[in-house]
Amino acid sequence: MDGPFGRHLPFVLKPVSLFKQKCLFLKLIKYQTMFTRIVKMEFQPEMVPAFMAHFKTIKENIRNFPGCLFLELYRDKKDDTVFFTYSRWESENDLENYRNSELFKAVWATTKPRFRSKAQAWSVDTLHRLE
């Protein structure tokens, strides 16, 4: 492209199909409305293997719950009894539906007695995301 911006801003000058524009817009809308839930759990050392085994059996059910878009389990590098779940939800209502579900009640009834301290949870909005 010729002109003063041709070499520096080619992305501005390239036409984008209407379909691609709609897809990008829908991604942006979905991205803006979803939010993340982070839960920190500290387990009694002897309960970690049981927690890990139990998580393997329920993780798909949690991830496939309506409104759950993403689920990961993290383990602290310095304290192997500390875990974090990181889940992304379409809406706060979806998370509340999960928290009031029979699935959550069963998960929590099995998980909570294994804690060495009370779980901590944060609901956060994503402000910036780079891929």
Distance CA 28, CA 95 (A): 20
Distance CA 41, CA 94 (A): 22
DSSP label at residue 128: -
**Confidence (pLDDT) at 17:** 64
Distance CA 26, CA 4 (A): 33
Distance of CA 53 to the CA centre of its chain: 21
What's the token pair of residue 43?
A: 């387990």
Q: Does domain 35-124 have CATH number 3.30.1490.20?
A: no
Helix (H) or strand (E) holding 85: strand 82-89
pLDDT at 6 over 60: no
- Rg (C-alpha) for the chain, rounded Å, is 21
Q: pLDDT tens digit string along 42-64?
A: 999 999 999 999 999 999 999 99
Phi, psi of 52 (to 5 degrees): -60, -45
pTM: 0.73
- Give residue limits of the domains in the chain: 35-124
Average pLDDT, the chain: 84
**Confidence (pLDDT) at 125:** 85
pLDDT at 122 over 80: yes
